[in-house]
Structure 1
Amino acid sequence: MCLGGYMWDVQAAESDRSREARSRARASLWRGRKSRWYVPVSLITDLVGAGVPVTLICVAADQPWAVPSGVLAALAWTGVQLFRSRYAARAIGESRGTLPVLHDWCVLLGVLAVAHATAGARLRAPLCLAALLPALLLTLVCRKAVYRHLASVRHRAQAVIKVLVVGEPAAADDVTAHLAARTDHPYVVVGAVPVGQGPFTAGIRTGARLAATVPHSAAEDADLVVRAVHRLGADLVLVVPGAALSGERLRRLSWGLHDAGVELFVAPGLVEVSVKRLETASAGGMSLLRVAPPVREGVQPLLKEVLDRGTAALGLLVLAPVLLVVAAAVKASSPGPVFYLHERVGRAGQPFVMWKFRTMRVGADRQKSALVEDNEHDGPMFKMRRDPRVTRVGHWLRRTSLDELPQLINVLKGDMSLVGPRPPLADEVAQYTPVERRRLTVRPGMTGLWQISGRSDLSWDETIQLDLSYVDNWSFTSDVDVMARTFRAVVDGRGAY
């Protein structure tokens, strides 16, 4: 009995130590990497942004309990975000999106509405919305500031997460190269533990290899990987499953890593698939990952159609004076028509005539062949920073993107959308690979990921990658986000020539 009690105490102590190790590992993974001011500044901003305006408006409206109302609003706003893990070290600074903040704010309205009804208060709805609106705006500004600061320090290789890759050499090479090619994530591969034989060409540190076959000892894999984690100072292990590392072997490796307090991530091999399209499931104890198809039917495409046509009609009406001024400037700058009508390729490869203000001299298309050697783009698209065919007014129109305003006519007709891939020329489409032709499955847009990410400064591969990402992961909310970010891209003018 005593021996049994002693063994139970030993096991309990080991379990406690394992839990402590895991908690310390998770904390060290995300804390100390990001600046310490993120959380307190976010908290103070939310408390002040909700509490002070509510108090002031209640005082101005001669409402009773002004200060308690402000305190309640501040605590409710921070409480909603705390409940939704917005202040967690893993999440803070990782998103600049407007929709998550707006969703939290709507939850706040519901919480305070219940409190309002319970207390029997009689406050006017417009007054309540006006009092709570500063909380939404200040939180949005704070989130964007934290996001930009974090992105800036990550470009200097700070606030990164060190990754140890485990997998068969070819697969581990691919994952390592993919992570190294992008800077929009915090992961930096510091080493690898190859599984089985074969060359590993990624140029990072490797140590002992895992056997290609399942070892006799269940802890052998985990011990070797944990030693590599400590030797390289890695924060987490990224496993690339394969024939030699899957099923029960991967399960036992996860036991050993978690007991040692090491975080485990698994790379399923999918690229450029939005997490919104991924769903987890289980069948017979086996974990499954469902990849939802791209959205092509339903309410969201209908909302996009309504937004496109409605905004185009309103834009043509409101911007009519601007269009007249630009048209006069184009006419006065050089002889020729005001508009440049050119055939482009739309959805499903259907040609259409795209409208633009003319920015080049008449006959510029015939001079293109003489400038082919001066093309500054690496793909079939033709771009020159100082194209001699562009007029003086044309340079200004391109810099401000005003030359594209007549495309609202194409949007109104249904040839184009407000957001989508860049409308290509027919000779560009003739050079497309089957993969590149996939960008033609949606209507081209006046703006898109290409425009807000650098426009002509992007390489051809980067342009195609952005377009395909849009095609596969489109949602109505993503269109709204792109349109909101387009204004900054137009003002910045980067890549516009």
Structure 2
Amino acid sequence: MADTAGATVPVAFVFQQAGQPHVVTATAAVCVAWLCVLTGHQRYGLRFLGESRGLVTTLHDWLTLVGLLAVVRVLSSESSPPAVALLAVTPAPVLTALCRSLTHRHLKAQRRQARAVHRALVVGEARAVDRVVEQLASRTDHPYVVIGAVPVGESVPRSGIPEAGQLAGADRGDDGQAVLAAARRHGAETVLVAPGSLLYGERLRALSWTVHDAGLPLVIASGLADVALRRVRPSTAAGLHLLHVDPPVRRGPQLLLKSALDRAGAALGLALLAPLFVLLALAVRLDSDGPALYRQTRVGHRGEHFTMWKFRSMAVDADRLRPHLTSANDMDGPLFKMRADPRVTRLGRLLRRTSLDELPQLVNVLRGEMSLVGPRPPLPDEVSTYEGPALRRLLVKPGLTGPWQVSGRSDLSWDESLALDLRYADNWSLTTDLGLLARTFRAVVDGRGAY
């Protein structure tokens, strides 16, 4: 209904206001073409509907529509001015994208309550079952809820998932029937297999035949985690099914474009916000003794140190007092945050709540030390405690906003923050940045975790 309204109402209105003939015909043609494009791209299928906000895919669909209508225009000798025709079809993707975003939010809310999900039976060795169950339980933005497990071998899973059955360590030819019986007892809608040394090759193939012949879908857990789908390409070699995993983007034209957009956005922001900067600086000076700006050494891209700027939100001796407050830290890991930090000034609480204290970092972005989007810039003493995977978050520039800021900020644990940053660092793309920028406004208004 939203797609139909977006393709009919604007076209009819614009063509009528422009005095164009054949308003009904043009409206019907655009509506049919738009719905055909969306249907052809399977946007109404269960695999797509509500699973994504769809900003990029909506743009792709709209460009396809424009191309299709251009062909129809030539074949039918339609004579409306190109600017009028383009204006008429522009609202369609906007309304479609809005509808997809609302559908995505609704689906996420449903899944947080264990609704709109597939009941999955996990089959695999105990350690593999535990790994899959733990990964799925850590997030709710997916369609699977584990209702039982069928371990392979003698080991017992430790995840606490009910055991629906068990397969022998050696293939006895009855795997499929045992899994089907367990699926029927527990009402499973999907069989999720975690392959391992005891379940692979011909044994896995025979299991898939039995499950599919019974009409149940079968899903294979590859063992990869937090790798964006666009980086994975399936292929076949000598009968083997292979997954090619593209490396993260660390150089090339995309990063050059990101840098250019960062600096252009920072320059525009500084120009537009100059009056606000003056007002905030005066307010900070009047609220408490000390300078308006606070500078601090942070660690940036590939471990390089730089001076980060903020509007001062604490007393001037805040750094000297921090060692005395270590026992009151509300965060785990190397981060230090207090919900009721006595060093924060009256105005400082408002600045932090609204994230206005971060605005001077636009200067850091303009200088190339930071990006508009990226992980939060850590302190040197935090970095000194990093081990192994944590160092990977330094492979991209720190950002003015990023996954940490839009996902709860200081309400997140260290492990949750690190997981978000690593996911961003390994799967970065321009579309990811655009999505995080769009979510930043809501995060600022919400203020959750800002203290």
| Normalised TM-score (structure 2) | 0.98
Separation in 1, partners of 2:24, 2:327: 71
Q: 1:424 aligns with which of 378, 392, 405?
A: 378
Matched, 1:366 2:320: yes
Q: Letter of the aligned partner of 1:97 in structure 2?
A: G
User: 1:370: how far off?
Assistant: 1.3
Separation in 1, partners of 2:165, 2:330: 46
SS at match of 2:337: coil
Separation in 1, partners of 2:375, 2:321: 26
Match of 1:182 in 2: 139
Match of 2:367 in 1: 413
1:150-172 per-position Cα deviation (integer Å, ceiling 9, x unaligned): 11121122111100001011111
SS at match of 1:166: strand
Match of 1:304 in 2: 258
Match of 1:235 in 2: 189
Q: 2:42 aligns with which of 65, 68, 85?
A: 85
Match of 2:119 in 1: 162
Matched, 1:173 2:126: no
Q: 1:208 aligns with which of 140, 147, 165?
A: 165
C-alpha contact (below 8 Å) 2:149/2:165 kept by paired residues: no
Q: Letter of the aligned partner of 2:178 in structure 1?
A: L
Matched, 1:286 2:240: yes
Matched, 1:125 2:82: yes
Q: Letter of the aligned partner of 2:236 in structure 1?
A: S
User: 1:129: how far off?
Assistant: 2.2
Q: 2:294 aligns with which of 334, 340, 345?
A: 340
Separation in 2, partners of 1:442, 1:141: 31
Separation in 2, partners of 1:161, 1:429: 41
User: 1:348: how far off?
Assistant: 1.3
1:423-469 per-position Cα deviation (integer Å, ceiling 9, x unaligned): 00011111111211111111111000000101111110000000000
Unpaired runs of 5+ residues, structure 1, are 1-43
User: 1:342: how far off?
Assistant: 0.5
Matched, 1:441 2:427: no
Matched, 1:111 2:68: yes
Q: Letter of the aligned partner of 1:305 in structure 2?
A: S
Match of 2:5 in 1: 48
Q: 1:152 aligns with which of 109, 132, 153?
A: 109
C-alpha contact (below 8 Å) 2:133/2:159 kept by paired residues: yes
SS at match of 2:49: coil
Separation in 1, partners of 2:165, 2:315: 66
Separation in 2, partners of 1:152, 1:289: 32
Matched, 1:493 2:412: no
Match of 1:273 in 2: 227
Q: Letter of the aligned partner of 1:473 in structure 2?
A: N
C-alpha contact (below 8 Å) 1:77/1:108 kept by paired residues: yes
User: 1:214: how far off?
Assistant: 2.1
Separation in 2, partners of 1:388, 1:204: 45
Separation in 2, partners of 1:330, 1:208: 65
Separation in 2, partners of 1:48, 1:347: 47
Separation in 2, partners of 1:159, 1:208: 26
C-alpha contact (below 8 Å) 1:343/1:425 kept by paired residues: yes
Match of 2:95 in 1: 138
Rg: which structure is higher? 1
Separation in 2, partners of 1:403, 1:55: 47
User: 1:331: how far off?
Assistant: 1.1
Unpaired runs of 5+ residues, structure 2, are none
Matched, 1:195 2:152: yes
SS at match of 1:55: helix
SS at match of 1:255: helix
C-alpha contact (below 8 Å) 1:222/1:257 kept by paired residues: yes
C-alpha contact (below 8 Å) 1:51/1:72 kept by paired residues: no
Separation in 2, partners of 1:124, 1:403: 49
Match of 2:268 in 1: 314
Runs of 4+ in 1 over 4 A off after TM superposition: none
Matched, 1:60 2:14: no
SS at match of 1:432: coil
Q: Letter of the aligned partner of 1:123 in structure 2?
A: S
Separation in 1, partners of 2:376, 2:54: 24
Separation in 2, partners of 1:59, 1:300: 43
Q: Letter of the aligned partner of 1:227 in structure 2?
A: A
Q: Letter of the aligned partner of 2:120 in structure 1?
A: V
Q: Letter of the aligned partner of 1:386 in structure 2?
A: A
Separation in 2, partners of 1:476, 1:152: 27
Q: 2:309 aligns with which of 355, 358, 364?
A: 355
How many positions carry a matched residue from both structures? 451
Separation in 2, partners of 1:175, 1:383: 32
Match of 2:433 in 1: 479
Separation in 2, partners of 1:141, 1:69: 24
Match of 2:57 in 1: 100
C-alpha contact (below 8 Å) 1:163/1:187 kept by paired residues: yes
User: 1:90: how far off?
Assistant: 2.6
1:212-263 per-position Cα deviation (integer Å, ceiling 9, x unaligned): 1222x4xx21111111111110010010111111111111111111111010
Deviates more, 1:481-490 or 1:464-473: 481-490
User: 1:318: how far off?
Assistant: 1.3
1:399-432 per-position Cα deviation (integer Å, ceiling 9, x unaligned): 1111111101111111111111100001111111
SS at match of 2:334: coil
Q: Letter of the aligned partner of 2:297 in structure 1?
A: E
Matched, 1:259 2:216: no
Separation in 2, partners of 1:414, 1:119: 52
1:9-28 per-position Cα deviation (integer Å, ceiling 9, x unaligned): xxxxxxxxxxxxxxxxxxxx
Q: Letter of the aligned partner of 2:350 in structure 1?
A: W
| Identity, % of aligned positions | 53
C-alpha contact (below 8 Å) 2:299/2:305 kept by paired residues: yes
